[in-house]
Structure 1
Amino acid sequence: MFIYGPEFRDVVADLRGLAPSVRHWVALGQPDRPGDQSFSQREACSGADLPEAGFDWEQPWVICYTGGTTGLPKGAILTHRAITANAVNTVVSWGLTADDVAILNAPLFHTGGLNALHRTAGVHRRCVHRPPGLRRRSGVRPGG
């Protein structure tokens, strides 16, 4: 599944031929092509449990782009195995438990937000996403 926003239609058009394993293209706005699904269609879906999805641990989970500090940005392909290993290592090294809650204020396009915080929350299922535009008020301290 590949979810795309309207601002990335040109990029998605280029990617379609390079990603034959993508079976479902999902648009956040109007679908770009016939056969693409609209993200809003999810509301018509049943609430029943889905069957377990089979996948290969070495298949790509995400392509994270570097900041380009040593040249042009490059796409780094991160596999299911790499993301899961990072999440498990983060949980263990930070001593996280099921009682912990992470406030995700890092952007999901950055590996710190996507990989370290968001994916780690998947291990314990607790993550609070900070809505875009929400800013911390001055004088408010974490934990107080």
Structure 2
Amino acid sequence: MISASDRKEVITLIQEAVATGAREAAACKELGLTQRTLQRWRKQGGSEDGRPHATRPAPANKLSEAEEQQVLNILQKPQNRSLPPSQIVPALADEGIYIASESSFYRIMHKHNQQHHRGRSKKRTARPLTSHAATGPNEVWMWDITWRTPS
């Protein structure tokens, strides 16, 4: 986001360019702005961007704390401890239970720091790529043993 002082400076620079004979569209393009942005900044008087300080209402379909706790309780049941949400949600749907979507399960797990390895199997480990790169002649040899019948 651009600070209020930078906005004012851009407005004065463009005004100077227009006063010396440049077209406003060309001056804006040179600075990487659209004319519409410049018009909006002039209308606001070069004031600070209000987006970071805006109060936004909560979504109407946001899960309540009780519903989040219900999801956490389901995730912590012994039969679900080693399963990912991609398996838990369909299993609940088979029972006729719907609490939240799979992505909501993941979002709640992440919020409560439970988004980690859940299975009984070992964690995945990072392994170096096994690629063969030749840096000189006769370092990497490949062959093809394709059986072809004579036609």
- How high is the TM-score relative to the length of structure 1? 0.24
Q: Which has the higher strand share?
A: 1
If you compute each CA radius of gyration, which structure gives the higher value, 1 or 2? Answer: 2
Q: Which has the higher helix share?
A: 2
Q: Which has the higher contact order (CA 8 A, sep 6+)?
A: 2
- How high is the TM-score relative to the length of structure 2? 0.23
